[in-house]
Amino acid sequence: MKKAIYPGSFDPVTNGHLEIIRRGAMLFDQLIVLISVNPNKQSSFSVEERAAFLRKVCYDIPNVRVDSCSGLIVDYFRSHECDIIVKGLRAMSDFETEFQMAHVNKHLCPRAETVFLCADSQSTYLSSSMVRQIAMFGGDISPFVPEAIKDDIIKRLDRTNKEEQ
Ligand code: ADP
């Protein structure tokens, strides 16, 4: 049985992430979508909100589980006896950081292989930060996020916007 983790911020999950999740779930027996909590990186959505969004959009993929971790990815990888790290690769901009991260992870845990799935042409320029910006300025995010969470994202960012004014 091959168990993979797909780590990221998912702040919030986009159609690009979901596409990687679906393909990863077809390649491996179990896929854990891992919200990695970085205390130095300010997020717009709490871990609980991000996990709820992910669970909602992955409800129909039986071999996907959502979890979070606040330490090193390789520590989670080891303690949960995982086999593969899945990452998505968008345009060239992702390559440098992801390449470095894959090497560091392998150095820290030699059996941690990273498998890269290329983003499809529809979502190669899509990021969570772009979705947040469009939503905050009242633009239409429906082409970029799963329909099931679209309104929740808009409502939540709208509330934050009003609280900050
Ligand atoms: P971001 O905040 O930039 O959207 P995340 O940290 O949530 O990114 O990304 C987690 C993983 O998903 C990374 O491997 C990243 O390259 C990948 N990813 C992010 N957006 C997309 C997308 N639109 N298509 C494919 N992979 C993506």
Q: Which two tokens stand for residue 109?
A: 């845990």
- Confidence band (pLDDT; 50, 70, 90) for 165? low
Cα of 51 vs centre of ligand 1, distance in Å, is 15
What is the atom index within ligand 1 of the atom nearest the CA of 7? 10
Residue 49 CB–ligand 1 contact under 6 Å:
no
Fill in the amino acid letter for 19: E
Q: What local confidence, expressed as pLDDT, does residue 38 receive?
A: 84
Cα of 126 vs centre of ligand 1, distance in Å, is 8
Cα of 86 vs centre of ligand 1, distance in Å, is 11
**What residues are annotated to the active site?**
17, 41, 90, 128
Q: What is the pLDDT of residues 23-68, one digit of tens each?
A: 999 999 999 999 999 888 889 999 999 999 999 999 999 999 999 9
Q: Report how far apart, in Å, the C-alpha atoms of 43 and of each of 4, 37, 39, 140 are.
A: 25, 9, 9, 21
* Model confidence, pTM: 0.94
CA separation for the pair 147, 55 (Å, rounded):
14
- Confidence band (pLDDT; 50, 70, 90) for 112? very high
Q: Say if residues 119 and 90 touch (Cβ distance below 8 Å).
A: yes
